[in-house]
Amino acid sequence: MLKKLLSDTVIYGLTTVLMKLINYALTPLHTAVFGPTSFGIVSLFYTYAVLFNVLYTYGMETAFFRFATKKDKKEVYSNIQSSLFITSFILSSALWFSAPYVETLFGYEDSEMYVKLFSILFAVDTIIAIPFASLRIDGKAKRFAFLKMSEVVLTFGLNYFFLVTCMEVVEGKSTSIFSNLILEYFDPSFGRGYVFLANLISKAFVMFLLLDKFLEIKFSWSWEKMKPYYKYGFPLIFSGVAFFINEASDRTLLTILIPDDFYSFGDAEAAMGIYSANYRLSIFITLAVTAYKYAAEPFFFSTAESKNSPQIFAKVMHYFVITLMIMVVGVVSNLSWIAPIVLKQDVYFVGLPVVPILLMANVFLGMYYNLSVWFKVTDKTSYGARISAIGAVVTLSMNFLLIPYIGFYGSAIATFCCYFTMMAYSYYLGQKYYPIPYNVKMVFVYFFVGGMFIVINTFVKINGFWLNIFVQNTMFVLFLLFIVYKEKELVNSLLHKLSNRI
């Protein structure tokens, strides 16, 4: 069972890493084509897309995982898909016809057409969510990975085609086998709209590849049928909105709350840019947590009915914490050479001290995903909304309190405190309603020892680039040896299995 979880996590992990790398490749493409204002508008629309995704799916993805393990999976699949078809049509129709008013609200040129594109994009993205969830619960990790990779590769390819190839043909800089079609149909004035169009086409292509999953649907909807799903899923809307606040408010509030003369290197926008760039260095933990979440959610629901599920969940959490703490100490020990590769310019290095804080914040977020199993398998999702709401309050209050005095360090600390609070409160409630024998003592030990190495490697620097790397990685090796010592039974077991295979 744990072997299957590990296998799926590896597949999802590799897929997530590749998807993120390809998506990152879009950034230099977009910044080369668009000026700061246009790039900012593209980023703004995708920021709000996260919120709309929460509203469109209204917790039905998690509800599917829950009820597919309790009832007839095909019936649950059809019921939820039918509901999402209806609500997506209603919401997207409303968004389409209100596009002129949204354009006035935003005040951006051509945003009416962008809103209309997104109204279709949201609907398509929503109705393929449950087919993807079905692949996960059926253990079809390889097909899931193939479809996700197809989507992101096609998105990148279409972006390059529209923004580079088509523009060069129109400007007479190059030719293409599609030159006649490009000259007839391509509209350069549509500009950043092609970014959204590329995304929509790739989503529609994936929907076509999932045709077999749509043919399984037996359209059926009634209030009585859907009432249990809505009762379970609706509280997750509030959880999602709160998570949106937690993810987006630090960078948004940074530009509002920090005085322009706070930093010598630039104004509030420059501070936000430095913070955002350093935030990307926490991607190593974010990728691991995302990959794990893809594999763990169906695993938790399928294991929940087992008599020894609490012991299994505790063991999973134990190994999860060990893995993430190894990654955090490893990244911090190697920031001196990783940072120049990612950040490029020296001006960004002033924000490096926030990286360990953000790395640990994402560890707590990953632990929260583990701990959230209790309210999902006990159908107490309203507690998830409560926990997320408390996290949002912590995020907003800490940002308002700290940013004016310590700048982007306040944003990082607010993120840290938010996810720690959510993790701790979820643990407290979970032990009350669904006790799991987590090895809290060893988790604390790994946090304490790992934390000491993180602090030392963050603030103690040795003169000489290579000498500094050697000393810091020596600290990392010491941490690994400490874990091997504490987990010697596990290590001996793994070595024994490996020797038998050889």
Of the pLDDT bands very low, low, confident and very high (cuts 50, 70, 90), residue 12 is: low
Average confidence score pLDDT of the chain: 83
**Residue scoring higher pLDDT (239 or 4):** 239
Which tokens hold the place of 437? 């024998």
pLDDT for the residue 224: 86
Residue 195 domain-assigned (yes or no): yes
pLDDT for the residue 447: 94
Three-state secondary-structure class, residue 59: coil
321 and 424: one domain? yes
122 and 255: one domain? no
pLDDT for the residue 101: 85
Return the axis-axis angle of helices 465-486 and 309-333, rounded to nearest 10°. 160
Of the pLDDT bands very low, low, confident and very high (cuts 50, 70, 90), residue 189 is: confident
Of the pLDDT bands very low, low, confident and very high (cuts 50, 70, 90), residue 306 is: confident
Which tokens hold the place of 428? 């407290």
For residues 1-12, give the mean pLDDT.
Answer: 56
211 and 246: one domain? no
Residue 475 domain-assigned (yes or no): no
- pLDDT of 368 > 60? The answer is yes
Task: Write phi, then psi, for 266 (nearest 5 degrees).
Answer: 160, -175
Three-state secondary-structure class, residue 263: strand
364 and 263: one domain? yes
Of the pLDDT bands very low, low, confident and very high (cuts 50, 70, 90), residue 13 is: low
Where is average pLDDT lowest: 126-140, 141-155, 247-261? 247-261
251 and 341: one domain? yes
Residue 498 domain-assigned (yes or no): no
Where is average pLDDT lowest: 8-17, 189-198, 423-432, 456-465? 8-17
| Residues 313-363 pLDDT 10s | 888 889 889 999 999 999 999 888 888 876 666 777 888 889 999 999 999
Residue 404 domain-assigned (yes or no): yes
203 and 277: one domain? no
- pLDDT of 28 > 60? The answer is yes
| Residues 422-462 pLDDT 10s | 999 999 999 988 888 999 999 999 999 999 999 998 887 78
**Residue scoring higher pLDDT (425 or 177):** 425
pLDDT for the residue 47: 72
pLDDT for the residue 4: 55
Residue 230 domain-assigned (yes or no): no
Do 190 and 110 form a contact (C-beta atoms < 8 A)? Answer: yes
CA distances in angstroms from 262 to 110, 190, 268, 405, 411, listed in the order given = 36, 39, 8, 9, 15
For residues 241-260, give the mean pLDDT.
Answer: 78
272 and 209: one domain? no
pLDDT for the residue 9: 56
Cα–Cα distance, 210 to 133 (Å, whole number): 12
Cα–Cα distance, 351 to 338 (Å, whole number): 14
92 and 172: one domain? yes
Return the axis-axis angle of helices 36-57 and 73-97, rounded to nearest 10°. 140
Reference 369, options 313, 437, 311; nearest CA is: 313
208 and 345: one domain? no
Reference 393, options 353, 430, 425, 436; nearest CA is: 425
Of the pLDDT bands very low, low, confident and very high (cuts 50, 70, 90), residue 498 is: low
Number of domain units in the chain: 2
Transcribe 280-342 into DSSP letters. GGGHHHHHHHHHHHHHHHHHHHHHTTSTTHHHHHHHHHHHHHHHHHHHHHHHHHTHHHHHHHH
pLDDT for the residue 501: 61
Residue 8 domain-assigned (yes or no): no
Which tokens hold the place of 344? 């490029």
For residues 15-44, give the mean pLDDT.
Answer: 65
E strands along 41-190, which residues?
none
Residue 405, Cβ density class (10 Å: 0-12 exposed, 13-18 middle, ≥19 buried) = exposed
Residue 234 domain-assigned (yes or no): no
The predicted model scores a pTM of: 0.73
Residue 497 domain-assigned (yes or no): no
262 and 204: one domain? no
Domain boundary among 221, 256, 272: 221
For residues 184-202, give the mean pLDDT.
Answer: 87
Question: Amino acid identity, residue 265?
Answer: F
179 and 313: one domain? no
Of the pLDDT bands very low, low, confident and very high (cuts 50, 70, 90), residue 464 is: confident
Reference 125, options 100, 155, 101; nearest CA is: 155
Which tokens hold the place of 439? 């090895």
Task: Write phi, then psi, for 417 (nearest 5 degrees).
Answer: -65, -35
Where is average pLDDT lowest: 185-189, 294-298, 390-394, 396-400? 294-298
Containing H/E element for 232? helix 223-257
Cα–Cα distance, 57 to 61 (Å, whole number): 7
For residues 72-99, give the mean pLDDT.
Answer: 92
Where is average pLDDT lowest: 49-58, 164-173, 312-321, 354-363? 164-173
Percent of the chain with pLDDT over 70: 87
CA distances in angstroms from 94 to 260, 269, 350, 390, listed in the order given = 40, 34, 46, 31
84 and 22: one domain? yes
**Residue scoring higher pLDDT (475 or 141):** 475
**Residue scoring higher pLDDT (336 or 494):** 336
Residue span of the structural domain in which 23 resides: 13-221
**Residue scoring higher pLDDT (201 or 105):** 201
Cα–Cα distance, 21 to 32 (Å, whole number): 18
Cα–Cα distance, 73 to 67 (Å, whole number): 8
